[in-house]
Amino acid sequence: MLRIVVAVVLLFTLTPAMADDQTMTRTEVEAIIEDFLTRNPEVVIRALEAWERTREEREADAARQAIARYDDDIHHDPDTPWGGDPDGENVIVEFFDYQCGYCRLSAPGLFAVRDTVPGTKVIYKEFPILGEDSLRAAKAALAAREQGLYEPYHQALMLEGEDYTEAGLMALAHAVGLDTGRLSADMNDPAIEAYLERTHQLASAIGINGTPAFIINGDLYPGAIRPGDFETILGIE
Closest alpha carbon to 36 in 21, 14, 58, 51: 14
Q: What percent of the chain has pLDDT over 70?
A: 83
Residue 181 has pLDDT above 70, yes or no: yes
Beta strands in 56-142 (DSSP E): 82-84, 90-96, 120-126
Residue-wise pLDDT for 102-139, tens only, equals: 999 999 999 999 999 999 999 999 999 999 999 999 99
Residue-wise pLDDT for 18-54, tens only, equals: 545 567 787 877 777 777 767 777 766 776 666 556 5
Residues in contact with 165: Cβ distance below 8 Å, sequence separation at least 6, in sequence order: 133, 136
Phi then psi dihedrals of residue 126, to 5 deg: -65, 120
Q: Tell me the whole-structure pTM to 2 decimals.
A: 0.77
Closest alpha carbon to 187 in 229, 237, 138: 138
SS3 content of the chain, % helix, strand, coil (to 5): 65, 10, 25
What pLDDT shows up at residue 55?
A: 55
Residue 15 has pLDDT above 60, yes or no: no
